[in-house]
Amino acid sequence: MARTDALTSDFLIIGAGLAGLYAALQAARYGSVCLLTKTSISETNSAWAQGGIAAAVDENDSPQLHREDTLRAGRGLCDERAVDVLVREGPECIKELERLGVAFDRTPSGYELGREGGHSRRRIVHAGGSSTGQRIVARLSALVLQNLNITLIEHAVVTELLTVEGCCVGARFLCDGREQLVRARTTILATGGAAALYHRTTNPPGTTGEGIALAYRAGAELADLEFIQFHPTALALPTARSFLISEAVRGEGAHLLNPDGERFMLKYDGRAELAPRDVIARAIFEEMRRFKTDHVFLSLRHLDPALVRSRFANIYETCLQYGLDLTRDLIPVAPAAHYTIGGVRTDLWAETTVPNLFAVGEVSCTGVHGANRLASNALLECLVFARRAVEAAVRHKVASASGQEVDGVRACSPANSQPSELSRVRQLMTQYVGLVRDRAGLEYALAELSRLEIASSGLLREQALVARLIAQSALFRAETRGVHIRSDFPNEDPSWQAHIIVQKDRPMRLEKQLQTESP
């Protein structure tokens, strides 16, 4: 049997993307921090973020306008209180990042602001053009490595959240072949989403939802898992990964063309290429179905080539690797799984329904995004709610659980996923739980995923669990809303303007209001 070592810390943070790094730096002001990441600190989903951070920092903008755009995109399912928190506290988080040394792109008159789909104003701040996530994560990572209050453990696979009388007191993890425990007053999940459960995804391979599984097994409520956002414009080449062509490209005036070379978005929405992501993804799907093809085209040929090369340098260079010149060629694109809107249910201070367990970033469901995330609100949500989580934890001043016996939750096996079996999960999710779904396909996927979950162990079991919960939620919601498209229920139904709540050993249920009472 593997030897078990025990560590203690005031704060345990699981995940080292933007939400985890920012939470670690905030928490280090108040005590010791143990930061776990299953990869290295440089291999996070946040580092792949190209678009930027949405915040009302311009004199021609306001939190109220940002609020209205967010609610409009969310198709009636945003929690208005959470949105109010996001847009009100967002600008201060941008200022704090600057104080931490993040250099946002500026002009002589202020921030160089971009505009993306669904936004009524230019309000997207960038750092290094299309390398925003990478720049911010690099800076925060450097600060974390310098901070003596933060202990970073890389390549740590968390297998279980530890609980005492229903309260979270830490976690069990595997690292270098050894099983270890971390006991902590506060545990913050920041593990990211689950979009890599699909074959075509803009996410790194490790984004497979294990944090959602950890919280579920510890008894936490999950919400809105059926809402998987598909980014409309991911590079679609047989020889290329699903590289993201940022929404900011359309914000600067790029056009979507069908195989006949016709610009088609205006017939679907008056905002054309600046419509929200769900509208554009659905329009692309319809054009692909009409022309019996697997992609449409993105055209920047009418834009200033110098602007394109400088503003989108990372995208430009990547396309060149595949023989495509962003300034001259039509770029083949198609929707790809991009963002997990649902996740671990939290209150307005990021606390889950398990006391002393918080969730921030893409693993969480704060209610900000509703049924369709507004572009570039994700990184802002990481910042705002990571800071709130730490503030709430400090206010709680939870007593240490050191020495107490933890509840008997079964630990996961350290066995790795078999590539062929994980490929089967991805095939099922892509074919039956993708952008467009129906009852027959969802029922088949649900049966197969349940079988895989029972027959598997280790990470594959957790991945199959999360995939099964997504499919189950998608089957339960008998309507089309936001990013959730049911071909057998093609319309939005007012009776389904509610959230689907999932909890271990309890029936799935609907709730009109997502937020629980906050401290």
The encoded tokens of residue 142 equal 């450097």
Q: Is 481 designated active site?
A: no
Q: Give me the helices (H) in 265-353, please.
A: 277-291, 305-311, 313-321
In whole angstroms, give the CA distance from residue 164 to residue 256: 54
Parallel, antiparallel, or unpaired for β 331-340 and 228-235? antiparallel
First to last CA, the chain: 42
Q: Select from 206, 212, 163, 63 the least CA-distant residue to 409.
A: 163
From 277, 437, 477, 481, active-site residue: 277
CB 276, CB 251: distance < 8 Å: no
Contacts of 158 (CB under 8 A, 6+ apart): 14, 36, 38, 171, 172, 173, 191, 210, 214
The encoded tokens of residue 215 equal 């919280």
Burial of 25 (0-12, 13-18, 19+ CB in 10 A): buried
The encoded tokens of residue 279 equal 């509208």
In whole angstroms, give the CA distance from residue 404 to residue 394: 21
Contacts of 359 (CB under 8 A, 6+ apart): 188, 189, 190, 211, 215, 220, 343, 344, 346, 350, 352
Query: Half-sphere exposure of 83 toward its Cβ, with a 13 Å CA cutoff?
Result: 23
Query: Half-sphere exposure of 230 toward its Cβ, with a 13 Å CA cutoff?
Result: 28
Q: Give me the helices (H) in 17-62, please.
A: 18-27
Cα–Cα–Cα angle for 394, 397, 401, nearest 5°? Answer: 125
CB 126, CB 136: distance < 8 Å: no
**What secondary structure letter does DSSP report for 114?**
B
CB 201, CB 426: distance < 8 Å: no
Contacts of 152 (CB under 8 A, 6+ apart): 16, 35, 37, 41, 144, 145
Cα distances (Å, whole numbers) of residue 480 to 49, 232, 438, 489: 28, 17, 10, 6
Cα–Cα–Cα angle for 438, 441, 447, nearest 5°? Answer: 130
Task: Please give the positions annotated as active site.
Answer: 277
